[in-house]
Chain A
Amino acid sequence: MPEKFADFPATALAWRKTNGGIAIPVPEMDEGIAAAMVCHPSKAKDMKPIALPTERVPQWQARAVEKLRELLTKYRGLSVYLDICAQCGACSDKCQFYLGTGDPNNMPVARANLLRKVYRYYFKRAERFLGGDAEPFNEQVLKEWYTYFYQCSECRRCSVFCPYGIDTAEITMAAREIMAAIGVATKYVTEVVAKVYERGNNLGIPAPAWIDNCQFLEEELKTETGKDIRMPVDEVGADVLLVMPSADNFANTDTMMAYGKLFYALGMSWTTSTYCNEGGNFGLFLNYQNMKKVNKRILDAARDLKVKRVIWGECGHAWRAAIYTNTLNGPMDFLDPPHPVHICQFTADLIKRGAFKIDKSANDDLLITYHDPCNAARAGSLLEEPRAMIRATCNKFVEMPRNTIREKTFCCGAGGGLLTDEIMPIRMAGGKPRAEACRSTGANYLAVPCAICKAQLPELMKHWKVDVKVGGVHDLLSRAMIL
């Protein structure tokens, strides 16, 4: 891992606890310090299957402006937000990527201004005339866009502090969609989407390996519990299709086994699908078309397998995309309502109704704290259910400082398509606030219902030397459940 991020100022600042919150130190501005942190560009072999130009299109400037014009007529949010920002700066110290790097282009308003100045140049001549910052879309601007719109995890934290609710994530999404249209995207995001079309999941796990892993987990469960707990694959007619992040299949296996135990305890039939063994949706980080197409696979799988419900597994951005399902590819009325359903909602509800025998003391070796995945909290209204689950399964639960949780949660630093190694310094710097908030609790278990967080947080905590184990929320239930 490169040690470069010692350059970023967050390392030097002091973090203090204050009454119920934590004092979040704001670094001095350091122009351009993060400018070299760019994602690898996409490869033609990935762009092709996801219907994007394999190289920069001819007349890309004009094409980009045309795309911006199109998006302005399609997204009210974009149109309003580009107009009304008062440049008040209230959001300027709210983004974890500014807090971590001190690069002014990581202030939400400045990030948005990168698009706003192009908007002004072509569509707002009056402001341009009065000396507002305006620039034609050119190579330099494109470079800034590519750098800083891929240093935004689309986490929406800024919107919570903006007097008009201006969501810089919407602006980032628009900029990425424009770039995609002219053939500019990152290797990581496009690769993931291409893998979904080829193999059914973000990680590119082939069907035989998926089945293999499931059988392996069944054996594990047999050793652990002595019971025949199934990890069904492609079972037509099951009650539930579970679409979890594919990483649960071989990285976060405790979470995956917890799902198995859960359905076993309920006596409910469920299945995963090798056509669509992914709840996540990287189309969300790229463009509307791919988001819709990735999302459609879930409903197609549900139809093919003739299930009654689809449940989304522990994942933040998957849930943000899931709540669009009915809009993108609905109506979902061939399924039992309510839909869509997140596994935490499903489980929390059942716990409340006393569906499980739980021995909380099984988790007494843990002091648990909870990380709100930004997408779950600020875009998916999923705040109470995971907490209810933790309270029902553990005796020792401690919240992180109040200005770092719930709708004010800090992103783990790797959402929005940033979970890629070449920008590790950005990930570590951006995750610093989360790491410090976690440290301040003294917890030894960090519960989080999100696969990207589960990949990022262990590295993050190791980097900032916070001694905590990262795991799922269902893992806790699994430990406490008496079968």
Chain B
Amino acid sequence: MTDAAMIWNLLAALIIGLGYLAAFVFVGGLLLRIALYIKTPVPLKIVQTPGPKSAPGVLARIAGDVLIFPNLFQADKLLWLGAWIFHACLFLILVRHTRYFLYPVPELVIDWQTISVYAGFFFPIPALYLFWRRLASSRVLYISGLPDYITLILLTAIASTGMLVHYFARVYLVDVKAFTLGLVTFAPVPPPQHPIFIAHFLLVCALLIWFPFSKLMHAGGIFFSPTRNQIDNVLYPRYVNKWNEEVRVD
């Protein structure tokens, strides 16, 4: 083996290792965090009223929160628009990417291919808006911290490298699929020898590792917000707090 080939093999092994590590941290971290939320009691009925009076109503409220951000709409129309487009693009991009991990590729993913690609192109616009907003509004600037900027930069960098490999510095699709399917079937093969693709992949790894430890957890936490996921039935039945007994009052 030549030196170059040896170095490449080593690099490939590292990249593959990092991919697994990222997946492990992401899944493990997410599950641990969610397990923690589930385990932590909700001592009192703190539903935001007026709220849904029944369980299906609660499901509708949560579905609404996840899909159309009604509270944000009330708060700030422009932010709502920016944030909604941002998330819609992300969603379409995610859906499209399942084609690299599923075989055969689901029908829906194929149908959505065109619009999903557009979403990828479009994504930097809402991302830039959100970034610009952090700097332009004195109130948002005041609350913004480094992680807020890093998260936006990371996502934009992922989307841009993705678009580069898709259009401009094309990577051979068969190689990509071999690599990704290799990863999910635990029979890894080296990634395509394409620096932008490798950058894209590594950035995604960084995002996955960052996810459970950061505000990105809002994607999971939104389902566990007691003001939004409780039934507005303050009178009946009796709501029980597990640790109420421990609090002595005599």
> A interface vs B, CB < 8 Å?
28-29, 72-77, 79-81, 83-94, 104, 107, 109-110, 113, 124, 126-127, 130-133, 156, 159-167, 170, 288-289, 292-293, 296, 323-324, 326-328, 330-332, 337-340, 377-383, 406-408
Contacts A327-B240, A381-B50 given; does A132 touch B146 at CB 8 Å: yes
- B6 contact set on A, CB distance < 8 A: none
Contacts A84-B215, A407-B50 given; does A110 touch B142 at CB 8 Å: yes
| Complex alpha-carbon distance, A80 and B230, angstroms | 15
- A75 contact set on B, CB distance < 8 A: 40-43
B117 to chain A, nearest CB (A): 27
B70-93 contacts to A, CB under 8 A, are: 71-72, 74-76, 79, 83
B234 to chain A, nearest CB (A): 4
B85 to chain A, nearest CB (A): 14
Smallest CB-CB separation from B140: which chain A residue? A89
Is there an interface contact between A87 and B148, defined as CB atoms closer than 8 Å? Answer: yes
**CB of B199 closer than 8 Å to a CB of A:** no
A96 to chain B, nearest CB (A): 15
Subset of 14 A-B contacts with CB under 8 Å: A75-B43, A77-B227, A87-B140, A88-B140, A89-B140, A156-B227, A161-B74, A163-B83, A165-B228, A292-B249, A327-B43, A379-B46, A380-B49, A406-B50
B91 to chain A, nearest CB (A): 15
- B243 contact set on A, CB distance < 8 A: 74
**CB of B185 closer than 8 Å to a CB of A:** no
Contacts A327-B240, A339-B235 given; does A77 touch B69 at CB 8 Å: no
Contacts A76-B42, A77-B227, A330-B238 given; does A381 touch B139 at CB 8 Å: no
Is there an interface contact between B225 and A164, defined as CB atoms closer than 8 Å? Answer: yes
Is there an interface contact between A90 and B72, defined as CB atoms closer than 8 Å? Answer: yes
| Complex alpha-carbon distance, A241 and B129, angstroms | 58
Is there an interface contact between B43 and A74, defined as CB atoms closer than 8 Å? Answer: yes
| Complex alpha-carbon distance, A172 and B122, angstroms | 40
Binds A, one of B15-23, B162-170, B176-184, B216-224: B216-224
**CB of B37 closer than 8 Å to a CB of A:** yes
Is there an interface contact between A93 and B221, defined as CB atoms closer than 8 Å? Answer: no
Is there an interface contact between A380 and B213, defined as CB atoms closer than 8 Å? Answer: no
| Complex alpha-carbon distance, A92 and B228, angstroms | 20
Is there an interface contact between B140 and A92, defined as CB atoms closer than 8 Å? Answer: yes
**CB of B33 closer than 8 Å to a CB of A:** yes
Contacts A107-B139, A380-B49 given; does A84 touch B218 at CB 8 Å: yes
- B114 contact set on A, CB distance < 8 A: none
Smallest CB-CB separation from B214: which chain A residue? A127
- B174 contact set on A, CB distance < 8 A: none
| Complex alpha-carbon distance, A107 and B83, angstroms | 20
**CB of B138 closer than 8 Å to a CB of A:** yes
Q: How many A-B residue pairs have CB under 8 A?
A: 199
Is there an interface contact between A76 and B41, defined as CB atoms closer than 8 Å? Answer: yes
List 9 other contacts, CB 8 Å, given A160-B71, A164-B221, A165-B227: A74-B43, A94-B75, A130-B214, A161-B71, A166-B227, A167-B227, A337-B236, A339-B235, A381-B50
Is there an interface contact between A126 and B225, defined as CB atoms closer than 8 Å? Answer: no
Is there an interface contact between A164 and B218, defined as CB atoms closer than 8 Å? Answer: yes
| Complex alpha-carbon distance, A75 and B45, angstroms | 11
- A130 contact set on B, CB distance < 8 A: 146-147, 150, 210, 214
**CB of B9 closer than 8 Å to a CB of A:** no
**CB of B247 closer than 8 Å to a CB of A:** yes
- A288 contact set on B, CB distance < 8 A: 43, 247
A344 to chain B, nearest CB (A): 14
Is there an interface contact between B213 and A165, defined as CB atoms closer than 8 Å? Answer: no
Which residue of the partner chain, among A74, A131, A165, A323, contacts B65 with CB atoms under 8 Å? A165
- A323 contact set on B, CB distance < 8 A: 45, 234-235
**CB of B145 closer than 8 Å to a CB of A:** yes
Which residue of the partner chain, among A126, A156, A326, A340, contacts B48 with CB atoms under 8 Å? A156
**CB of B5 closer than 8 Å to a CB of A:** no
Among A75, A76, A107, A288, max chain B CB count under 10 A is at A76
**CB of B1 closer than 8 Å to a CB of A:** no
Is there an interface contact between A93 and B65, defined as CB atoms closer than 8 Å? Answer: no
| Complex alpha-carbon distance, A126 and B214, angstroms | 8
Which residue of the partner chain, among B37, B69, B137, B235, contacts A79 with CB atoms under 8 Å? B37
Is there an interface contact between A87 and B145, defined as CB atoms closer than 8 Å? Answer: yes
**CB of B144 closer than 8 Å to a CB of A:** yes
Is there an interface contact between A164 and B51, defined as CB atoms closer than 8 Å? Answer: no
Contacts A80-B224, A86-B218, A164-B218 given; does A326 touch B239 at CB 8 Å: yes
Contacts A292-B249, A327-B239 given; does A124 touch B213 at CB 8 Å: yes
A401 to chain B, nearest CB (A): 14
Is there an interface contact between B72 and A165, defined as CB atoms closer than 8 Å? Answer: no
Contacts A76-B226, A156-B48 given; does A131 touch B139 at CB 8 Å: no
| Complex alpha-carbon distance, A160 and B139, angstroms | 19
- A330 contact set on B, CB distance < 8 A: 238
Is there an interface contact between B72 and A163, defined as CB atoms closer than 8 Å? Answer: yes
- A89 contact set on B, CB distance < 8 A: 79, 137, 139-140, 143
| Complex alpha-carbon distance, A110 and B46, angstroms | 22
A459 to chain B, nearest CB (A): 28
Is there an interface contact between B71 and A165, defined as CB atoms closer than 8 Å? Answer: yes
Is there an interface contact between B227 and A292, defined as CB atoms closer than 8 Å? Answer: no
| Complex alpha-carbon distance, A381 and B227, angstroms | 13
- A296 contact set on B, CB distance < 8 A: 249
| Complex alpha-carbon distance, A84 and B139, angstroms | 19
Is there an interface contact between B49 and A113, defined as CB atoms closer than 8 Å? Answer: no
Is there an interface contact between A110 and B236, defined as CB atoms closer than 8 Å? Answer: no
A376 to chain B, nearest CB (A): 9
**CB of B187 closer than 8 Å to a CB of A:** no
A99 to chain B, nearest CB (A): 12
- A159 contact set on B, CB distance < 8 A: 48, 227
**Top 5 A-B pairs ranked by shortest CB distance?**
A131-B146, A84-B221, A126-B213, A161-B75, A381-B49
| Complex alpha-carbon distance, A65 and B85, angstroms | 40
**CB of B244 closer than 8 Å to a CB of A:** yes
Is there an interface contact between B247 and A164, defined as CB atoms closer than 8 Å? Answer: no
